[in-house]
Amino acid sequence: MIQRLFSVCWRLTILVLPWQTRWFGDASLVGWPWEQGRWSVYVSWLLIVATVILGLLVRRPGRFDLRKRRGPIVAVGLLLLVTVAACGTDVAVWKPALQWWTQVTLLALFVWTLVRAGIPRRTLAVWSVAAMMPHVVLGVWQYALQRVVGHPWLGIATQLPEDAGVSVIEHSVYRVLRMYGGFPHPNIFGGWAAVGYLLSLWLAATAATKSRALWWSAASASLAVALLLTYARGAWIASAVGTLVLVGTIVRAHVAKRPEPEGETTSLQYLVAAVAASILIAVAVAVPQADHLATRFHP
């Protein structure tokens, strides 16, 4: 029973993790709202805590020895010392610092629980990509509508391109809303989309059947479109570098591997097909948005 609850809980946590639903208090800096200074409790935190507790109760398949991971522990200790030295006795500064440490600690415990439970990497990748698909659909709708419809239960704030402070592509006579999805800023969405895109490429390359490879190729193409319309340059660079690394890794494994039986599709072919599909779809979407994309390179 506990094992089943744990399996449901960690999957649900990954699905909820990208959403920004939270309870928060007000904070100000020099008389203005201060987002980073707000103490927030996210719904995903509750699921993370439940996953960690259930994970501790589940019989683990192998031993997770912390003594072999002294490097990360020392790094965390040094980071904690830097935090204490930087914050000092300033209570106002400690609030965002504690918020950050709470988030990092909970995420670290969640990852540790999944590693300890021996969850396969492929299973984690599948659920991580699945968690991004609602945001892709939502983001495309927002971009077509050119407004973000707020929803308190989903943690989404209303965003209009004509309002000050909203992230847009600005031209001389009009403003184009960037894709938000369910995230507080397009750059954050872009970072998540880049990770989801690379995971979907890896899933396509390692698919067991052609139908599954086709499915993950479609997922990678949709994430490529979302990545493009966030107009997040850092995410573009990260996805390009990640794709090159992934292709290089698959090529090296393909060269070292024994020849496949004639007629059998290889991982390299699956990967090339997924990348090609992503590029074709992204180019088809990018051509009508060429003037918007140009502003990201020539502001």
Which tokens is 287 given? 């051509």
Residue for token pair 């190729």: 217
- Write out pLDDT tens, residues 142-178: 999 999 998 888 888 899 998 888 889 887 778 899 9
Higher pLDDT, 136 or 258: 136
Residue for token pair 């939270």: 22
Q: Is 299 exposed, middle or buried (0-12, 13-18, 19+ CB in 10 A)?
A: exposed
CA–CA dist 31, 18 (Å, integer) = 30
Name the H helices within the chain. Answer: 2-16, 43-57, 70-87, 91-117, 121-145, 186-205, 210-229, 233-256, 267-286, 290-295
- Write out pLDDT tens, residues 187-214: 999 999 999 999 999 999 888 888 888 9
Whole-model pTM?
0.85
Task: Count CB atoms within 10 A of the CB of residue 41.
Answer: 13
DSSP letter for each residue of 129-143:
HHHHHHHHHHHHHHH
Residue for token pair 């999944």: 114
Structural contact between residues 148 and 159, judged by C-beta atoms closer than 8 angstroms: yes
Structural contact between residues 197 and 170, judged by C-beta atoms closer than 8 angstroms: no
CA–CA dist 293, 276 (Å, integer) = 20
- Write out pLDDT tens, residues 54-72: 998 886 655 555 566 666 6
Task: Judge whether residue 296 has pLDDT over 50.
Answer: yes
- Write out pLDDT tens, residues 84-135: 777 777 666 677 777 788 888 899 899 989 988 889 999 999 999 999 999 9
Higher pLDDT, 256 or 248: 248
Structural contact between residues 102 and 162, judged by C-beta atoms closer than 8 angstroms: no
Residue 30: pLDDT band by 50, 70, 90 thresholds? very low
Predicted pLDDT of residue 186: 94
HEC per residue, 164-215: CCCCEEECCCCEEECCCCCCCCHHHHHHHHHHHHHHHHHHHHCCCCHHHHHH
Structural contact between residues 184 and 221, judged by C-beta atoms closer than 8 angstroms: no
Sequence-separated (6 or more) residues with CB below 8 Å from residue 198: 239, 242, 243, 246
